[in-house]
Amino acid sequence: MTFPHLRPLVHKLPSNWVAVGAVVGGLPAGLALGLMADDRQAELMSVFVTARSRRRGIGKRLVKTWMAKVGTKGARSISVRFAERGERRPALEALLSAAGWSEPVEDGLVVLGRSGAMVEAVGGWAPVSERLSKQSLYTFDPLCLTEADMERVDSLLALSDAAQMHGPLRLWPQLEQGVSCIVRREGALIGWVLAGPSRERWSALSASRTTQNTQDAPLIEYYEAYLDPRYWHTAIAVGAYHHCYSRQVELFGPQSLALYFTDPSRPRMVRLTRRRFAPIAERVETIWRSDGPSSENAPRT
């Protein structure tokens, strides 16, 4: 009743997950499963009703009961994200509308590809290969920050261009050091690429039937990339990705998956992603988002 990647959760549900099941005639008929984040934002990850129990209002009751459950746990907001090409998208949108959720809006772009193929393709782009051959100015260093580096991170995060960025210090506990890097120009920190094991939100995407032979492949999510705006024209941001993808190949193999998400608030990254990374990816998917009623208006059961 849920994505293959999420099934093991149901056997022993972690405390930050909320599940609501429906039973009809003594038989399981449906499941709503979602995640409660530390910031009290709840996200509905999966909702399913068996074929024989559909068109009876069970899906709507499942969603509303799940909303009430996370409400009792102190959820400040409720949302769901889904892929544009999902085969059950129309049914999900109808269900959310019936349960009082907002009209879906475009929330971002996900790119999923094999790290080996990405390395080969990106390394062949003329601007990147030329830049990578001139290592005197730029380097891609491990995540070892000096006091001066930390001050520089703070100053970059204060720029308007870095809105919603977290930086290496806040994301540190969840990072995979080997596939993350600090970008330097003549020794000075000018940006970073931060990655680690994929978070629950996107893990189900790798198990999709539209991407072949991915269920057992290691999945690395590139959480965040940022570069001082003064150096965007240099192509070094793509060079930093090439470095991290290369390290991913070394550590996890060329068949491992690299996943990147960028949201509409960063149009420059969206354009770069569509222009450069999308053509060489196995899957490019527009993500949509719908928000549930506020906790004050959420239904109680």
pLDDT in tens, 234-286: 888 888 999 999 999 999 999 999 998 888 777 777 887 787 777 888 888 88
Query: Who contacts 281 (Cβ-Cβ below 8 Å, separation ≥6)?
Result: 111, 112, 113, 118
CA angle 233, 237, 238 (to 5 degrees): 105
Beta-sheet strands, E only, within the chain: 17-24, 27-36, 41-49, 77-83, 105-114, 138-141, 181-185, 188-197, 219-227, 257-262, 283-291
Identify the pLDDT of residue 67: 94
Sign (positive or negative) of CA dihedral 85, 91, 95, 100:
positive
pTM: 0.75
Residue 72 has pLDDT above 50, yes or no: yes
Query: Who contacts 167 (Cβ-Cβ below 8 Å, separation ≥6)?
Result: 153, 154, 156, 157, 192, 224, 226
The residue with greater pLDDT, 121 or 301, is 121
Q: How confident is the model at residue 58 (pLDDT cuts 50, 70, 90)?
A: very high
Tell me what the mean pLDDT of segment 204-219 comes to: 57
Tell me what the mean pLDDT of segment 91-109 comes to: 92
HSE, side-chain direction, 13 A CA sphere, residue 19? 18
Residue 290 has pLDDT above 70, yes or no: yes
284 by DSSP, 3-state: which? strand
Identify the pLDDT of residue 6: 80
Beta-carbon count within 10 A of 189 CB: 22
Give burial (CB, 10 Å; 0-12/13-18/19+) of 120.
Answer: middle
Identify the pLDDT of residue 199: 66
The residue with greater pLDDT, 1 or 268, is 1
Nearest residue to 235 (alpha-carbon basis) of 155, 129, 136? 129
Identify the pLDDT of residue 71: 92
Q: How confident is the model at residue 300 (pLDDT cuts 50, 70, 90)?
A: very low
Domains present along the chain, CATH in parentheses: 4-103 (3.40.630.30), 109-288 (3.40.630.30)
Any idea how long the chain is? Answer: 301
Residue 298 has pLDDT above 50, yes or no: no
Rounded Cα distance, 46 and 2, in Å: 6
Identify the pLDDT of residue 203: 59
Rounded Cα distance, 213 and 176, in Å: 23
Residue pair 251/202 in contact by the 8 Å Cβ criterion: no
Instruction: Round the average pLDDT of the chain to a whole number and report it.
Output: 86
Rounded Cα distance, 125 and 236, in Å: 12
Rounded Cα distance, 281 and 274, in Å: 10
Nearest residue to 161 (alpha-carbon basis) of 127, 140, 196, 190? 190
Identify the pLDDT of residue 75: 92
